Amino acid sequence: MRPISRRQALLLGGVGIAVTAAGGAGLIWTLASPPDPVAGGELAQPPEERSIDGQLQVRLEAKPGQILLAGRQAAALGYNGGIPGPTLRVRAGDVLKIKLVNNLAQATNLHVHGLHVSPEGNGDNIFISVQPGDTFDYEYKLPGDHPPGVYWYHPHHHGMVADQIFGGLFGAIIVEDPNSIETSAERVLVVSDITLDSLGNIPAVPAMERMMGREGELILVNGQSNPQFTARPGERERWRIVNACVARYLRLRLDGQQLQLLGVDSGRFHTPETVDELLLTPGNRADLLVTTAAGGSVLRAFYQNRGSMPGMMGQGSEPRTPGAQPDGTALATLRVSGEPAAPLTAVPAYQGPGDLRTSVVSARRQIILAAGMGMGMGSGMMRFTINGREFNETRTDTIVAAGNVEEWTLTNTSPMDHPFHLHVWPMQIIEESGKETSTAVWQDVVNVPANGRVKVRVAFKDFRGRSAYHCHILDHEDLGMMGVVEVR
């Protein structure tokens, strides 16, 4: 048996009475370390659903069950029994219809993260609540000029988002390219994290970890622990990477291979950018080309310091990163051997959605992200606020005139990073830590560093209605770090 971890100590502290009452067996179970994950299986791909003749209709059933995670049975949540749920492949101009079936024991709903679609009615409406046993028919109409790229879907029921995503409710959405890019293989890599106890259950998450943003002990790719796959030298693979972790930042490296980034979120670059490292905050996606070199490489996630909590002393002042190792955590292993492949044609240039740096700005706003001790110190919970307020779904915080371009200054007054996310309308980053960006960078989740500031511009075009912006450390969102925007 391994020594008792801090998490287990915390859990024992919290459930001490229950454990005593359960007797010796209960105590031993609680103390037993979870078995090591089964690593190294062949990389699996989630099932795929593809639109035909401009339409894709799918049924997504959210349900608890025994699901294979890291090679062991886990009591988790899945869409259609899998983690991740099916990959949905659509094109600009398509209609995507999703029948959400809620067979969870609690309310849920669905959000299509990053898609530029209407937030009203049965569109990407996060104010809908689907009760246990109920179903809801969502319908999303993608505009004809919708940017291609990697998107994803997940629940958005306030107060339960972190738990439901941590439990396994997420899946990828791909908006196909108008002009296809030649590749030898395409892989969806949905990265998530989770903690499982010795019985395969997800332990309760202590308040301290919620405030810091929980990081699971296992980092999974498509529900697997360090899966492997093979290629020949000189091939061009396309990897669609989603950071579906509740709070973990992924600093990814694949040393020894040539990496070209096509884009992040809905922001496709004009031409691919050569990179050797990639930082994905929770909610970000990367569209990556990998040109393979003989021998192979391990995709690794390195520790990313995302700051500390205000006013915390000693332990707990650092984010918990279980399993954080100096040489990173192995996420997946690529082996490259055999006859070199013939080179493929060049990647066509992409004409982006324009550049708001030269636009007329109709309004400038300040968005202040803060974390601090609450009034009721007794609760021990900190307050996570935007412009001094916690989320209230009946209140509209920001009213924008349809069609306007606005400039938002995102200011973080806390000593920890917050990844800021706006629904429906993508953000163009204008200025980061006092420096103007030299190219047009579009993202829907933008990291606002501890005590830092980022300026973005948003074109509030095409749709009206109420939607949200929030911190994509989903524990912070659930704790109230979210506001309502209405475009009129």
Residue 283 as a binder of ligand C2O (CB under 6 A): the answer is yes
First to last CA, the chain: 60
Q: List the Cα angle 347/350/353 in 5-degree steps.
A: 160
Structure tokens of 268? 């496709």
Closest residue to ligand C2O using C-beta atoms: 113
Residue 395 DSSP one-character state = -
Residue 154 as a binder of Cu ion (CB under 5 A): the answer is no
Task: Count the neighbouring beta carbons within 10 Å of the beta carbon of residue 438.
Answer: 6
Using the rule CB under 5 A, give the single segment among 82-90, 254-262, 265-273, 412-420 that binds Cu ion: 412-420
Q: Binding pattern to ligand C2O, positions 365-404, x when CB under 6 A?
A: ----------------------------------------
Residue 285 as a binder of ligand C2O (CB under 6 A): the answer is no
Quick one: what does residue 187 bind among Cu ion, ligand C2O, none, with the CB cut-off 5 to 8 Å set by partner type?
none
Which of 421, 455, 466, 476 is the binder for ligand C2O (CB under 6 A)? 421
Q: C-beta of 175: minimal distance to Cu ion in Å?
A: 15
Cβ contact 319:308 at 8 Å: yes
Task: Tell me the number of residues near ligand C2O by CB under 6 A.
Answer: 10
Based on CB atoms, which residue is closest to ligand C2O, 153 or 350? 153
Residue 285 as a binder of Cu ion (CB under 5 A): the answer is no
Residue 221 as a binder of Cu ion (CB under 5 A): the answer is no
Task: Count the neighbouring beta carbons within 10 Å of the beta carbon of residue 75.
Answer: 16
Residue 423 as a binder of ligand C2O (CB under 6 A): the answer is yes
Residue 470 as a binder of ligand C2O (CB under 6 A): the answer is yes
10 Å CB burial of residue 53 (0-12, 13-18, 19+) is: exposed
Distance of CA 225 to the CA centre of its chain: 18
Cβ contact 102:190 at 8 Å: no
Residue 248 as a binder of ligand C2O (CB under 6 A): the answer is no
Residue 113 as a binder of ligand C2O (CB under 6 A): the answer is yes
Based on CB atoms, which residue is closest to Cu ion, 253 or 470? 470
Residue 158 as a binder of ligand C2O (CB under 6 A): the answer is no
Residue 415 DSSP one-character state = S
Quick one: what does residue 116 bind among ligand C2O, Cu ion, none, with the CB cut-off 5 to 8 Å set by partner type?
none
Q: Under DSSP, is residue 26 helix (H, G, I), strand (E, B) or coil?
A: helix
Using the rule CB under 6 A, give the single segment among 47-55, 60-68, 368-376, 464-472 that binds ligand C2O: 464-472
Q: C-beta of 57: minimal distance to ligand C2O in Å?
A: 23
Quick one: what does residue 471 bind among Cu ion, ligand C2O, none, with the CB cut-off 5 to 8 Å set by partner type?
Cu ion
Q: C-beta of 471: minimal distance to Cu ion in Å?
A: 3
Residue 418 as a binder of Cu ion (CB under 5 A): the answer is yes
What would the DSSP string read from start to end of 360-391? PP-EEEEEEEEEEE-S-GGG-PEEEEETTB--
Which of 43, 288, 410, 473 is the binder for Cu ion (CB under 5 A)? 473
Backbone angles phi, psi at 102, to 5 degrees: -95, 100
Task: Count the neighbouring beta carbons within 10 Å of the beta carbon of residue 80.
Answer: 17
Residue 187 as a binder of ligand C2O (CB under 6 A): the answer is no
Based on CB atoms, which residue is closest to Cu ion, 82 or 419? 419
Give the Cα separation of 235 and 233 in Å (integer).
6
Please enumerate in sequence order all residues whose Cβ is within 8 A of that of 466, keeping only pairs 6 or more positions apart, or say none.
Answer: 119, 120, 127, 396, 484, 485, 486
Q: C-beta of 384: minimal distance to Cu ion in Å?
A: 6
Using the rule CB under 5 A, give the single segment among 5-13, 250-258, 320-328, 463-471 that binds Cu ion: 463-471
Q: Under DSSP, is residue 368 helix (H, G, I), strand (E, B) or coil?
A: strand
Cβ contact 127:466 at 8 Å: yes
- Among candidates 448, 88, 116, which has minimal Cα distance to 240? 88
Q: C-beta of 13: minimal distance to ligand C2O in Å?
A: 32
Q: Are strands 329-336 and 297-302 parallel, antiparallel or unpaired?
A: antiparallel
- Among candidates 87, 74, 247, which has minimal Cα distance to 167? 74
Give the footprint of ligand C2O on this chain (CB under 6 A): 111, 113, 154, 156, 283, 421, 423, 468, 470, 472
Give the footprint of Cu ion on this chain (CB under 5 A): 113, 418, 423, 471, 473, 476
